[in-house]
Chain A
Amino acid sequence: MEEGLVALAAALAIGLPALATGLAQSKIGAAGAGAVAEKPELSGIIIILIAIPETMVLLGFVTAYLLISG
């Protein structure tokens, strides 16, 4: 039972931030595409901005890993 709950916790720890990251990236990506259409020189900065929310899923990944590895 406990093992199952830990696994569920780990799944939530990485799953929810992954959804949040996807949501954030979709919004940044859409706005970024608009910005790049008008100013192509912003491409580099937009790629970086899209990568920023990934920290959330990384924190989730570390938490999940710590939960599973005990």
Chain B
Amino acid sequence: MIKRMLKVQMIGPKPILDDAIKALHAAAVVHIETMPEEELRKGDFLKKLPIESEKLKNKEALEKSLERLKALKSILPAPPGVRPERVSGGQIQRYLSDLAPIEERARFLRARKEALAEELSTAGRYEKLLRGFAPIVSRLGGLKNFEIVGLTLEKTREDIPGLLESEVARITDRSYQMFTREIEDGTLGIVLTYPKHFALEIKSLLTGRAISEVRLPDEYEDMTLIEALKVMGRRRAELPGLMHEIDRDLAAISAQWYGTIEGALRAVGNSLDEFGALSYAAATRFAFIIEGWVPAGRYSELKEKFSGLFGEKVLLRTLEINEHDREAVPVFIKNPSFIRPFEVFLAALSPPKYGSIDPTPFVAIFFPAFFGLIVADVGYGAIIFVLALFLRFRLREGGISKDIATVLAISAISAMVFGFLFGEMFGDLGERLGLLHPILLNRIESIKTLMYLTLGIGVGHVLLGITLSVASRLMRRDYKEALARACYLVLVVTLLSILAVLSGYASKGLLVYLAAILAVSFIAFVALEGMLGPIEFIEALGHIVSYVRIMAVGTASVVMALVANRIGGLSESLVAGVALAAVIHALNLVLSILSPSIQSMRLQYVEFFSKFYEGGGRRYRPFKSR
């Protein structure tokens, strides 16, 4: 449910501002608010708190430290299950100097690894090229007074080798040799040998755009092509091992220091948050003022803490929440632990407005109920329950995934309960084995009853939604809107009553009165809501029919389970029959997790929430340690 909030103001002498901020940080209950501009403009005496230059310098130093620590953390691999060390604000400098040599070593290792990776990729690139030249070059190995040049050429320029050869022949007076072969897709390799004293003229000839000379990386420059090839092959074999060694060194550093780095990062983050809180404060010449929001239940504890720490020096008081403030009140939703996982349904929406209704408790009842009604199978429910529990215990850290697993586990229990009531275990297998019998109804034989039952659920759920919308508007003192929603409620109830009379479920004598109420409530609703009112009214009727999906999807699921059992039964081999049935049941089980979840979720969001949910609230974010 949405907790009541109090607007609080803290006033104290400027010299103890830092201590007061630290105390607020430790209390971890105040959602600090910027002082409104109009308050600051009221008089000259109250201004935004100016931040001293020394504090700004400290802040800059902390920001630099934060960047350094983040960079160090990004170099190191995260070891599993590491916990951040506890580091207080005062210990930050000591930790930073302890970490300095680690930072240097980690940076060195990373630079070394990057250099090795670069060398590996270069060696890979050149090796392919040199391997193409190798057979030709080896034949020329003994020609000591000759220059050997490797060239590459795009295959599309096949005219160039001919032109090149005639030019080289002219320059060297036919004392040359030229070999051409394809070294990879689209690239021709050319090896040219000529007497060394023609080197200058030949080099100037080779500066054309289409031809590129194979230039070796710096470290191989003094080697011949053959030597370079050998060295590259050797380096390619040893480089992965060297890189792996560096990874091991980094992992060893990480195992020892990661928790410390995390702890220091948190401490720096917390100190920066405390600097950030200063920007929310206002000040007079001698005093500071901080305003914020506190859950009503935590106020007395906060007041006690502050009077214990500062005595009379700091005044903590509550302020009246005026009409203008109401839109800005942050929303703090707190539910009992067994309902809390269902808050996950609000994650897709903006938080509810302060003073409106938190739908979580209703979702906690209806989502598992609808899911259970659709799946309604003891066997499927048990498997989903085990899977959900397994997922829940695998996810050690809390979070959305863990909440979803809990919701699924609760919904699976509901599926087992309804499965027991409908006598279903893997379709009709439970009944065939004599383990279960329908207690409430048989879903295949009582489709009509189930349809009426789901329509009844729809009527109840939609009317509850409209009733909640009336209550929500009354709580927010929006009486005109509350009256409109009340008319809407009367309108829907009256129409449903008329349908009941026409179907013979009530006395026909009531029809006149009901028609009169219908007409009056319709006119009042249109007058209050405008022309969109009738559309909303028709939509509500469509929403009620929409609950038939519980029966439709549920029947589809049970029919598929029956099909699995029948097809399994057709096989002459027991093993093949069981295997076939198991495959179809497995498919149905996957659908039994997906489809009922989506359908049940949709009934909450579209049919139920649309009646009363008012989004657009601000989330309560207390000023607390990271």
Q: Which of A50-64 contact B (CB under 8 A)?
A: 51-52, 54-55, 58-59, 61-62
Q: Are A65 and B601 in contact (CB under 8 A)?
A: no
Q: Are A58 and B598 in contact (CB under 8 A)?
A: no
Count of chain B residues near A, Cβ 8 A: 17
B451 within 8 A of A: yes
Residues of A within 8 A of B548 (CB): 58, 61-62
Q: Are B542 and A59 in contact (CB under 8 A)?
A: yes
Residues of A within 8 A of B82 (CB): none
Q: Are B447 and A65 in contact (CB under 8 A)?
A: yes
Q: Are B348 and A65 in contact (CB under 8 A)?
A: no
Cross-chain contact of A62 among B347, B451, B601, B605 (Cβ < 8 A): B451
Given contacts A65-B447, A69-B448, contact A58 B606 (CB under 8 A): no
Determine the distance from Cα of A58 to Cα of B547 in the docked complex, in whole angstroms.
9
Determine the distance from Cα of A69 to Cα of B552 in the docked complex, in whole angstroms.
16
Cross-chain contact of A51 among B448, B545, B552, B598 (Cβ < 8 A): B598
Majority-rule SS of A interface residues: helix
B368 to chain A, nearest CB (A): 18
Residues of A within 8 A of B545 (CB): 55, 58-59, 62
Leading 3 A-B pairs by shortest Cβ distance: A51-B602, A44-B348, A55-B546
Determine the distance from Cα of A54 to Cα of B542 in the docked complex, in whole angstroms.
12
Residues of B within 8 A of A58 (CB): 545-546, 548-549, 552
Q: Are B606 and A48 in contact (CB under 8 A)?
A: yes
Determine the distance from Cα of A51 to Cα of B601 in the docked complex, in whole angstroms.
10
B599 within 8 A of A: yes
Q: Which of B557-611 contact A (CB under 8 A)?
A: 598-599, 601-602, 605-606
Spell out A's residues near B (CB within 8 Å). 44-45, 47-48, 51-52, 54-55, 58-59, 61-62, 65, 69
**Nearest chain-A residue to B546 (Cβ)?**
A55
Contact with A along B227-247 (1 / 0, CB 8 A): 000000000000000000000
Q: Are A54 and B451 in contact (CB under 8 A)?
A: no
Spell out B's residues near A (CB within 8 Å). 347-348, 447-448, 451, 542, 545-546, 548-549, 552, 598-599, 601-602, 605-606
Cross-chain contact of B598 among A48, A55, A61, A69 (Cβ < 8 A): A48
Determine the distance from Cα of A48 to Cα of B603 in the docked complex, in whole angstroms.
9
B496 to chain A, nearest CB (A): 16
B448 to chain A, nearest CB (A): 6
Cross-chain contact of B451 among A47, A55, A65 (Cβ < 8 A): A65
Determine the distance from Cα of A52 to Cα of B599 in the docked complex, in whole angstroms.
9
Q: How many A-B residue pairs have CB under 8 A?
A: 39
Residues of B within 8 A of A48 (CB): 348, 598, 601-602, 605-606
14 additional A-B pairs beyond A59-B542, A61-B552, A65-B448, beta carbons within 8 Å, are A44-B347, A44-B348, A47-B598, A47-B601, A48-B601, A48-B602, A48-B605, A48-B606, A51-B598, A51-B599, A54-B599, A55-B546, A59-B545, A61-B548
A27 to chain B, nearest CB (A): 18
**Nearest chain-B residue to A42 (Cβ)?**
B348
**Nearest chain-B residue to A59 (Cβ)?**
B545
B411 to chain A, nearest CB (A): 16
Residues of A within 8 A of B348 (CB): 44-45, 48
Some 27 contacts from A to B, beta carbons below 8 A apart, are: A44-B347, A44-B601, A45-B348, A47-B598, A47-B601, A48-B601, A48-B602, A48-B605, A51-B598, A51-B602, A52-B602, A52-B606, A54-B599, A55-B542, A55-B546, A55-B549, A58-B548, A58-B549, A59-B542, A59-B545, A61-B548, A61-B552, A62-B451, A65-B447, A65-B448, A65-B451, A69-B448
Determine the distance from Cα of A69 to Cα of B446 in the docked complex, in whole angstroms.
12
Residues of B within 8 A of A55 (CB): 542, 545-546, 549
Determine the distance from Cα of A45 to Cα of B348 in the docked complex, in whole angstroms.
7
Residues of A within 8 A of B605 (CB): 48
Determine the distance from Cα of A51 to Cα of B146 in the docked complex, in whole angstroms.
78
Determine the distance from Cα of A44 to Cα of B348 in the docked complex, in whole angstroms.
7
Determine the distance from Cα of A33 to Cα of B448 in the docked complex, in whole angstroms.
37
A17 to chain B, nearest CB (A): 12
Determine the distance from Cα of A41 to Cα of B546 in the docked complex, in whole angstroms.
27
**Nearest chain-A residue to B555 (Cβ)?**
A61
A46 to chain B, nearest CB (A): 10
